Amino acid sequence: MHVRAARGLPHTGTGAIDNTQQRCGRMATNSFSDILDGLRDARQDSEEKTTLDDIVKAFQQRGFGPLLVAPALIMVLPTGAIPTIPSLCALLVLLISVQTVFGKQYPWLPNRLREISFDGDKLEKGLDKLDPYAQKVDRYTSKRLRFLTRDIARRLAALLCCALAVVIVPLELVPFAVFAPGLAILIIGLGLALHDGILMLVGFIGSTAALIASIWWLTDKL
């Protein structure tokens, strides 16, 4: 695990401004492909390491859904095999979800958590592998059953994500055990980002199943 200070935005003239404007235009929507591009932008803004601060800054203006997708992807991609990273991502999900339950628009995160960094190259390689799947998700999803993506459903989703985040921490001790709860958080995040109620329904069912299975496994082993 590496810790370094979060950086401010560089002022490098009109070229940097034009680049930022292009990114804002590209990130105006919340398709799965756009979210992957947002993670790439966060990766490009960093050096060898990508911080959680880079991730949060890239998505905090885009709502609860993309903010869930980002740490969930880090957990299910090869970056999730880096020691402590799943637990730190789970903590990020927990803090964001708790604040969403209480109606906070933009999440507050402690500086210590924001400064946590990980290997950006592993993240970028994983994102490249996800591109064709992201295009399929974007092709087959749409704004359906939108009542399942609005306030009450969003807060229920946040509660489920809180519970999943809590069980991820002890599950990290078992190789690949965080994949199921991480995937459930990813599906909920995509459902919210894409305003797709059917995807949200799948996420609710998957989250409940992952939570029950995780609790059963943990109680059986303890």
Neighbour-count burial of 101, counting CB atoms closer than 10 A to its CB (0-12 exposed, 13-18 middle, 19+ buried): middle
> Tens digits of per-residue pLDDT, 29-56?
578 888 888 888 877 665 667 788 888 7
Stretch 54-81: mean pLDDT, rounded?
Answer: 83
Strands in 2-3's sheet, in edge-to-edge order, are 2-3, 116-119, 49-51
3 touches 116 (CB < 8 A)? yes
- Condensed to tens digits (0 to 9), the pLDDT of residues 161-213 reads 999 999 999 998 888 889 999 999 999 999 998 999 999 999 999 999 999 99
Are the C-beta atoms of residues 31 and 138 closer than 8 Å to each other? yes
**Domain ranges in the chain?**
2-221
Beta bridge partners of 51: 117
**How far, in Å, CA of 192 to CA of 82, rounded?**
28
Tokens of 6: 């979060």
In tens, the pLDDT along 119-156 reads 777 778 888 888 998 999 899 888 899 899 888 999 99
Rounded CA separation 90/20 (Å): 29
Query: Does the model's pTM come out above 0.85?
Result: no
Quick one: pLDDT at residue 169?
92
Determine the pLDDT at residue 6: 41
